[in-house]
Structure 1
Amino acid sequence: MTDLILNKTGDLDIQNGDIMIGYSDNQHQEHILLANKGDFKEFPELGVGINNMLNEDDFMPFLIDAKKNLEYDGMKINNIKFEENGNLNIDGYYK
């Protein structure tokens, strides 16, 4: 998906006076995973709240919620899992 690109601080990425536009799928995934329910006023049920999961021992409810939220955003999820190194691996694409 092509959209506005944000920099590392969450502001519009502006280079040479131009707002950057480019591939934004990973950016959308990140925003959904970080957002809590209610953060997106137009879609109050969207958001996973990954920060709330950090002290949990059972990750399965988080993975289920993440899959549901990403599918709600239009992704086709083949698999979502935590790798042994702790990284979240999302095998999916936007339709």
Structure 2
Amino acid sequence: MEFCLMTDIFLNKTGDLDIQNGDIVIDYSDNQHQEHILLANKGDYKEFPELGVGINNMLNEDDFLPFLIEAKKNLQYDGMKINNIKFEENGNLNINGDYQ
């Protein structure tokens, strides 16, 4: 099976265009796309109003399972094949999957 590595306009840590030597940086962007989908709320992407997980909304929740299900559905909709998605003991979200 062949996996594709997405390249796209890259954003820096503050969310601004990453510009180096006067040029917009084009780089590996899979992680950036995942982050944007997890942070976005439904309706943030006008062309795809059902895309978005709204991770900030789950911060006060005790049950993380609905969030993990929603994250998996949204990432699959974006073209990822998800093998596993879970929270680690340290609180980090681990996404095991690749874009097809």
TM-score by length of 1: 0.99
- Give the residue type in structure 2 aligned to 1:19: I
- Which of 2, 14, 18 is residue 13 of structure 1 equivalent to? 18
Match of residue 46 from structure 1:
51
Q: CA deviation at 1:10?
A: 1.0
CA distance, structure 1, for counterparts of residue 45 and residue 18 of structure 2:
21
- Give the residue type in structure 2 aligned to 1:64: I
- Which of 28, 32, 36 is residue 23 of structure 1 equivalent to? 28
- Which of 62, 66, 74 is residue 57 of structure 1 equivalent to? 62
Q: CA deviation at 1:25?
A: 0.2
Equivalent residue pairs, number: 95
CA distance, structure 2, for counterparts of residue 52 and residue 59 of structure 1:
11
CA distance, structure 1, for counterparts of residue 42 and residue 61 of structure 2:
18
CA distance, structure 1, for counterparts of residue 44 and residue 16 of structure 2:
17
CA distance, structure 2, for counterparts of residue 28 and residue 92 of structure 1:
13
CA distance, structure 2, for counterparts of residue 32 and residue 23 of structure 1:
16
Show structure 1 runs of 5+ residues with no match: none
- Percent of residue pairs identical: 88
Q: Secondary structure at the match of 1:76?
A: strand
- Give the residue type in structure 2 aligned to 1:27: Q
